[in-house]
């Protein structure tokens, strides 16, 4: 690693942290339209100051995407991040005001500092550091910074489709990433997709006395009976045609299981469990978490659920389900399979309402971009990063990654104690500076 880069970063650390603090002072909580537009304008000016060509892309009913591009060369990298933040509530649990950044014990505390303004600003500072040491970037670096991530990125896919030509790149640096509980740097190469639905069953025009149960259909029973056809007792999804579309992990993807630490006993103790679902061992639990689809009941509601007694036959029942999806299972396909499955079993009166969806995205572990990120991380951080071929959760990665034919990797300034979405959100200052160093090295390697 070039000592000049490290010396430059250390010499500018106070300016970097003050710059990041300025971004965190803007309370860009979704719903605060004035603050969101203030943040978009501040970021536009800041990218322009760094030498980027900058645009704001207006969205339907939401704050704009801030787009910036800088550098030259045959290769390009896309950077995804967001400038909206979670509400700071409950305010009384913060040790200092959420939008008044402060450094304590080597940590910078502020709402949004880890999610996601630290990632945004580290990439700007890396661009400026590279230019100060080496001159012009050896690749084209493209900033895509949205303001709707905390509400599910409803306009990301349309924006990606509209601006697909500008977004094309040889790899995508996704937001988020950092150290785990054992201080191992951790990255993810993808996310599961998701279909979120509500099942609604109806009965009489109003709740009835439960004495009528022998002659009036109870929608709660109908819903329970329908739900019972979706998954077996041992956890296998039994929706007609579902498993036939599941693509199993490739040998390359599955090989990562041998290098991912998974402390099953600690997890079970933390969650108060005697065993994992189905009694599986640690390796199988990790494999399911990363690669298996799910059909999960998030909540059920019907009739009288307060304390005490009320003999009632409810006239409606509702359940919310999320189905985590893996490659070859699209939200549209699964919605169709679910509807047909219920109809075949005589549950055609149960309404299926689609509330949200995300597509699966997974990078090729053998791609040159992925390998370059991994090797740069190892050299800068001094150990091999833990690489997850996918995350068990979901996110809006597909439109900017696999949907545009590129691989995406999560990298960021986080660690296990960032308190994301919680009071006293923070990052460690040393992590921030080291991440700028890593990004500079990645520019150098991938650009050459």
Q: Which whole number is the average pLDDT over 5-32?
A: 97
Residue 87 has which token pair?
């509400």
307: exposed, middle or buried (Cβ count in 10 Å: 0-12, 13-18, 19+): exposed
Average pLDDT of the residues in 235-253: 94
Collapse the DSSP code of 361 into the 3-class scheme (helix H, G, I; strand E, B; otherwise coil) and give the result.
strand
Strands 178-179 and 140-146: unpaired
**Residues 288, 286: Cα–Cα separation, whole Å:** 5
- % of the chain exceeding 70 in pLDDT: 100
Predicted confidence (pLDDT) per residue in 77-115, tens digit: 999 999 999 999 999 999 999 999 999 999 999 999 999
Sorted by sequence, the CB contacts under 8 Å of residue 9 that are 6+ apart come out as: 16, 129, 433, 436, 437
Closest CA to 334 of 192, 239, 229: 239
Q: What is the Cα–Cα distance from 325 to 335, expressed in whole angstroms? A: 11
Supply the pLDDT for residue 1: 56
pLDDT of residue 439: 98
- CA separation (Å) from 404 to 27, 154, 384, 398, 400? 32, 18, 29, 8, 6
* Among candidate residues 286, 289, 291, the one with its CA nearest the CA of residue 257: 286
Structure tokens at 255: 């090989």
pLDDT value, residue 66: 98
CATH number for the 3-189+363-447 domain, one of 3.40.50.10860, 3.90.79.10, 3.40.630.10, 1.10.1200.10? Answer: 3.40.630.10
Tell me: the pLDDT tens digits for 128-172? 999 999 999 999 999 999 999 999 899 999 999 999 999 999 999
Q: What is the dihedral of CA 61, 64, 65, 70, to 10 degrees?
A: 160
Please report which confidence band the pLDDT of residue 61 belongs to, taking 50, 70 and 90 as the band edges: confident
Mean pLDDT throughout 302-325? 97
Checking if the pLDDT of 40 tops 90, the result is yes
The per-residue pLDDT of the chain, averaged, comes to 96
Q: For the residues of 64-86, what is the DSSP string, one character each? A: EEEEEEE--SS-EEEEEEE--B-
What's the confidence (pLDDT) of residue 227?
A: 98
Beta strands (DSSP E) in 275-415 are 296-302, 312-313, 316-325, 351-358, 361-362, 386-388, 391-394, 408-410
**Rounded to a whole number, what is the largest CA-CA distance in the chain?**
83
Question: Looking up tokens 């084209």, which residue turns up?
Answer: 140
Average pLDDT of the segment spanning 248-265: 91
201/1 Cα distance (integer angstroms): 63
Question: What percentage of the chain exceeds 90 in pLDDT?
Answer: 94
pLDDT band at 412 (very low <50, low <70, confident <90, very high): very high
pTM of the model: 0.91
CATH for the 193-358 domain, from 3.40.50.1780, 3.30.70.360, 3.30.950.10, 1.10.238.10: 3.30.70.360
Note the pLDDT tens digit of each residue in 119-138: 999 999 999 999 999 999 99
Q: How do the domains of the chain map onto residue ranges?
A: 3-189+363-447, 193-358
pLDDT of res. 234: 85
Q: DSSP per residue over 394-425, as a string?
A: E-TTGGGTGGGT--EEE--SB-TT--TTSTT-
Residue pLDDT, tens place only, 276-311: 999 999 999 999 999 999 999 999 999 999 999 999
């Amino acid at each position: 690693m070039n000592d000049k880069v490290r010396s430059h970063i250390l010499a500018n650390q106070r300016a970097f942290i003050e710059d990041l603090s300025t971004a965190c002072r803007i309370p860009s909580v979704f719903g605060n339209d004035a603050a969101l537009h203030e943040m978009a304008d501040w970021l536009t000016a800041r990218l322009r100051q760094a030498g980027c060509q900058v645009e704001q892309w207006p969205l339907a009913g939401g704050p704009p995407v801030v787009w910036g591009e800088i550098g030259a060369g045959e290769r390009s990298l896309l950077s995804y991040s967001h400038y909206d933040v979670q509400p700071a509530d409950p305010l009384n649990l913060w040790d200092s005001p959420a939008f008044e950044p402060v450094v304590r014990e080597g940590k910078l505390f502020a709402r949004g500092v880890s999610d996601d303004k630290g990632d945004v600003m580290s990439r700007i500072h890396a661009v400026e550091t590279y230019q100060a040491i080496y001159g012009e970037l050896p690749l084209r670096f493209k900033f895509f910074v949205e303001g709707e991530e905390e509400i599910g990125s409803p306009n990301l896919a349309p924006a990606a489709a509209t601006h697909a030509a500008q977004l094309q790149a040889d790899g995508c640096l996704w937001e988020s990433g950092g150290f785990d509980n054992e201080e191992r740097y951790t990255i993810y190469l993808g996310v599961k997709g998701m279909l979120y639905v509500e099942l609604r069953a109806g009965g009489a025009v109003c709740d009835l006395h439960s004495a009528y149960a022998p002659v009036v259909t109870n929608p709660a029973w109908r819903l329970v009976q329908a739900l019972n056809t979706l998954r077996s007792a041992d956890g296998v999804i039994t929706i007609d045609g579902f498993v036939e579309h599941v693509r199993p992990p490739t040998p390359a993807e599955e090989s990562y299981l041998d290098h991912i630490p998974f402390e099953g006993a600690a997890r079970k103790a933390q969650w108060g469990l005697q065993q994992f679902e189905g009694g599986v061992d640690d390796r199988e639990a990790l494999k399911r978490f990363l690669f298996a689809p799910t059909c999960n009941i998030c909540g059920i509601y019907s009739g009288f659920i307060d304390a005490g007694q009320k003999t009632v036959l409810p006239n409606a029942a509702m359940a919310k389900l999320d189905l985590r999806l893996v490659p070859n299972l699209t939200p549209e396909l699964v919605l169709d399979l679910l509807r047909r499955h219920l109809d075949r079993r005589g549950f055609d009166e149960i309404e299926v309402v689609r509330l949200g969806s995300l597509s699966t995205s997974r990078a090729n572990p053998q791609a040159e971009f992925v390998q370059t990120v991994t090797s740069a991380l190892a050299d800068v951080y001094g150990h091999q990063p833990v690489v997850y071929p996918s995350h068990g959760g979901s996110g809006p990665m597909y439109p900017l990654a696999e949907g545009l034919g590129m691989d995406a990797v999560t990298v960021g300034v986080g660690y296990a104690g960032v308190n994301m979405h919680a009071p006293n959100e923070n990052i460690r200052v040393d992590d921030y500076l080291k991440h700028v160093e890593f990004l500079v090295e990645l520019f150098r390697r991938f650009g050459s």
